[in-house]
Amino acid sequence: MAAAASGTPDRGQDRTQGRPRVRTAFGEVEGRTGPGGIAVFRGIPYAAPPVGARRFAAPAPPEAWDGVRDAGAYGPTAPKVPYPPAFAALLPDPEVPGDDCLNLNVWTPDPAPGARLPVMVWIHGGALTRGSSAVPVYEGSAFARDGVVLVSVNYRLGVLGYGLFPDAPANRGLLDQIAALTWVRDNIAAFGGDPGRVTVFGESAGAISIGALLAAPAAAGLFRQAVLQSGAPEVLPRDRVRTMVRRMAALLKVPATAGAFAGTALPDLLAAQAAVLRRSSPLLGGPAFGLVADPGTLPPDPLAAAAARGDVPLLLGWTAEEYRLWLAPTGAMRTLDRLGALTVALGRARSGKDRAAVRALRAERPGAGPADLLGHLLTDRLLRDPLRALAGAAGRSAPGFVYEFAWPSGIPGLGSCHALELGFVFDTLDVPEASWLAGPDTPRELAAEMHAAWVRFAVEGDPGWSPWNGDGPPKVFGGPERREPADAQPVPVGGAATRRVLP
């Protein structure tokens, strides 16, 4: 592809003293060579820093640089607020200071333009308000070890990426992701990747983002395959997103415009954002930051638009007890169980399920309490139903593969919760932070199996089981042999309840 040639060095890659060099379209970068000869390049800018007048603008190309840019450390993370303590003990979320937050990282086994290896591009989760590519569990060496070029991406979060203003483009975080994929198309050949064999994958908000990328006209042709883990294509009502901006504006005592917010000090913006996020729930609804339908970026029904991309092979799935991440750490499981029938009624109302669905769920899970029933009903509504619909959409010529991750965490009460599968997909269970959510004594053989399926999908378009045909169970990773009782409560292991700042 002609565009890819712009990033190809006019000399072979330089691995002098463990510091490989690659020339991109914007300048030369120097990475590091790690164990097994894997070359790692961190913090490469794919767009200009979103500061000043660019704070709420669409991403602009980075400025070219002279000389060699050091790519040995993670670049700045997008401005964000910390998780509440109950979740900060479970979900590592390092912060790297700096303005140049629109950056990406590359792990490659062979940074040579002739290698033409398959490429996987990771888009992190975090409710579009938290997370980054610097999370240790997302370390990409295992993918490179197995012959895949792994790219991970930072993008704008919260009000900066998804606040809805009358004087700024909508869905700026999505525009950032499209800019990153454009960079991959134009430069990844220089790192040994094949721009025609790109698989995008993400979890939670990252999977929602990939659903949007499947639907967004501007992303057409930037990837060949997609993996959606615990997230489905969706847009939020514009008023729901706009309410977050209005609430922030009231706290800041400024107009609810991008111009006014751009003139506000970043610490004040983040403090106001933290205040309004405390009134938002990812499971039960309410105002939130998120993607919206927009004529310039995203159609009104992204699920239908994504399903219409019938030529894109898909790998889609969920964890068996997604909801426990949100309900167990805060003690909400106990509260909801005490409410009994009211909790089940709330689950029916929020999920749109009828009494027959509740009866079927009780029969399937005879020991489930009210909180578990509510959680399963909402998980069906938010994840399982739309992902199954996407996998089995009429007119698709490409296969859709469906999975469930069912291994329960070693931390009591968490069960097979949201985000638990990540250390298994990346094969990074030896990273200390993986135990924050998974606990001790994790099954390495399960990580090897799951990671191999993702690699096989990237290489062959087939993870190793039959495509979903609209009926029957999904492929299951792990099992229920260690499933915790519904009333168990988590005891956080190993995590710090404060945000850590990387040097």
Helices (H), 41-199: 85-88, 141-145, 158-162, 172-187
Separation CA 105–CA 223 (nearest Å): 17
* Residues with a known catalytic role: 204, 322, 418
Q: How many CA atoms lie within 13 A of 11 on its CB side?
A: 7
Per DSSP, the three-state class of 318 is strand
Residue 483 is given by DSSP the state P
**Cα-only R_g, the chain:** 22
Using CA atoms, how far residue 462 sits from 116, 141, 233, 402, 422, in Å, is 19, 22, 22, 11, 20
Per DSSP, the three-state class of 92 is coil
Count of residues making up the chain: 503
Amino acid at 140: G
DSSP 30-52: E-EE-GGG-EEEEEEESS----G
Per DSSP, the three-state class of 331 is coil
Cβ(358)–Cβ(351) under 8 Å? no
Separation CA 130–CA 143 (nearest Å): 24
